Amino acid sequence: MDNSVGDGLIDIAKWVPSPNFDERPEGAIIDLLVIHNISLPAGKFDGDYVEQLFTNCLDCDIHPDFRDLKDLKVSCHFFIKRNGELIQFVNCELRAWHAGISEHNGRNNCNDFSLGIELEGTDDKPYTDAQYLRLSELTKILMSLYPALTTENIVGHSDIAPSRKSDPGIIFDWDRYKTGLI
């Protein structure tokens, strides 16, 4: 089964291009997967605000939670909504701006060699069955396309930026997720 639409695009994902990316460093090998969470406003689900944020279309004046996001340029490769809908914002071959200041196994700038997946959620609310299913399905596809990406190289944002980030949170069921990869 061929799951790519073209180099770096996944056919099970809705394509919503973000302008927030750049080229990976020459010779970079994709060997890290970073799991994040996001909700806009905080703790609210099922709106289009996350898509608007990643495409630089969010009106930051419409909600107090959005004020700190003004002029922020961020993205991820993939976003999984509560119902399992999968959206791709950045081609996997390119460098999405998801990890920020980060370090993994002695290497800085994790955006250079990672893929980022955002789950619609918070650190303290359980993720949905549909999200775990879609996340496992997507991860298997990515692991087949990028052989250096192994289960040992799947981390949370909190693992690569522990002083700044806590996502995907203590509620994220790593065992369930990794069991789904078998």
The residue assigned the tokens 């302008």 is 19
What pLDDT, on the 0 to 100 scale, is given for residue 182? 86
| Residue-range domains of the chain with CATH | 4-179 (3.40.80.10)
DSSP annotation of 76 reads -
Q: Go through 27-52 and write b for each residue having 16 or more CB atoms within 10 A of its CB, e for each that does not.
A: eeebbbbbbbbbbbeeeebeeebbbb
List, for residues 130-140, the tens digit of each pLDDT value. Answer: 999 999 999 99
Express each pLDDT in 72-128 by its tens digit: 999 999 999 999 999 999 999 999 999 999 999 999 999 999 999 999 999 999 999
Q: Can you list the alpha helix ranges (DSSP code H) found in the chain?
A: 49-54, 129-145, 157-160, 174-179
Residue 86: name the closest of 142, 5, 13 by CA: 13
Q: What is the pLDDT of residue 1?
A: 40
Query: To the nearest 5 percent, what fractions of the chain are helix, strand and coil?
Result: 25, 20, 55
pTM of this structure: 0.96
For the cut 50, the answer to whether the pLDDT of residue 148 exceeds it is yes
Please report the pLDDT score of residue 51 as a whole number.
98
Catalytic residues: 118
pLDDT, mean of residues 151-166: 96
Amino acid present at 113 = F
